[in-house]
């Protein structure tokens, strides 16, 4: 097993929560996605935060291109490892 993780970056909490919920409907997940608030460097304002959805993919079942298309539906993107 490998330690593959996919990080999806979303513009706000609502988008991150919606995407995390929809992930299980579209992709085979071994674990529930983790939501993480990522404050932008030097910013204290909660409005200046991105939200990350972190997926573990030990079996490498998730196609990065499909994840790119998926997260784009919420104006987000997938971080390259």
Nearest to 64 by CA among 13, 2, 8, 16: 8
Q: Between 40 and 59, where is the model more confident?
A: 59
Residue 39 pLDDT: 72
Q: Which pTM value belongs to this model?
A: 0.85
pLDDT at 66 over 80: yes
In this predicted model, what pLDDT tens digit does every residue of 1-50 receive, in sequence order? Answer: 567 899 999 999 999 999 999 999 999 898 999 999 987 655 555 556 88
Q: What CA–CA distance (Å, rounded) separates 7 from 35?
A: 10
Centre a 10 Å sphere on the Cβ of residue 4 and count the other Cβ atoms it contains: 15
Question: Given pLDDT bands bounded at 50, 70 and 90, which one contains residue 77?
Answer: very high
């Amino acid at each position: 097993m490998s330690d593959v993780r996919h990080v999806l970056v979303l513009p706000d909490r609502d988008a991150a929560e919606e995407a995390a919920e929809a992930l299980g409907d579209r992709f085979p997940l071994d674990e529930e996605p983790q939501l993480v608030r990522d404050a932008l460097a030097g910013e204290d304002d909660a409005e200046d935060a991105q939200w990350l959805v972190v997926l573990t993919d030990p079996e490498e079942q998730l196609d990065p291109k499909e994840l790119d298309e998926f997260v784009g539906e919420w104006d987000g993107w997938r971080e390259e490892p």
